[in-house]
Amino acid sequence: MALNPGDPAPDFSLPATGDETLSLAGLKGRKAVLYFYPKDDTSGCTLEAQAFNALTDAFAAADTVVIGVSPDPMKSHDKFREKYGLGFPLASDETKAMLEAYGVWVEKSMYGRKYMGVERTTVLIDRDGTIAQVWPKVKVPGHADAVLAAAKAL
């Protein structure tokens, strides 16, 4: 089920780094970027995290919270965040309920083998909890800059 601009953002409550629990209700009144990625400490996911991290101050100036979401366990998130000095939280969805609600837990294929995994996707949510923009099948180079521009314009 693909989300579209104007749709209400699906509700969620997930454990996150820094012993936080992040929820849609907790984000109310702020703009939020949820970027969904397949796996901690892999090349593409590391580059994406570093790109968002480099813009942490600019996102804060745009009153926008950045949250990385993957099915990795909290222990993995904590190590990944510490290793790269990430200044934003990483949320863990080991049950995949939120990933499914946002339509990013999909069948993938590599070398002819089919498996379930996270499709790299970013969702921008407005202050009222409505989907403002969706970037499916993200290509990492330049992506964080495009998301920042959209957040500033919102």
- Residues labelled catalytic: 45
CA–CA distance, 66 with 55 (Å, rounded to integer)? 10
Residue holding tokens 């009222």? Answer: 128
CA–CA distance, 126 with 129 (Å, rounded to integer)? 6
CA–CA distance, 152 with 154 (Å, rounded to integer)? 6
Nearest to 68 by CA among 52, 85, 47: 52
Nearest to 26 by CA among 41, 13, 40: 13
DSSP 95-134: T-HHHHHTT-EEEEEETTEEEEEE--EEEEE-TTSBEEEE
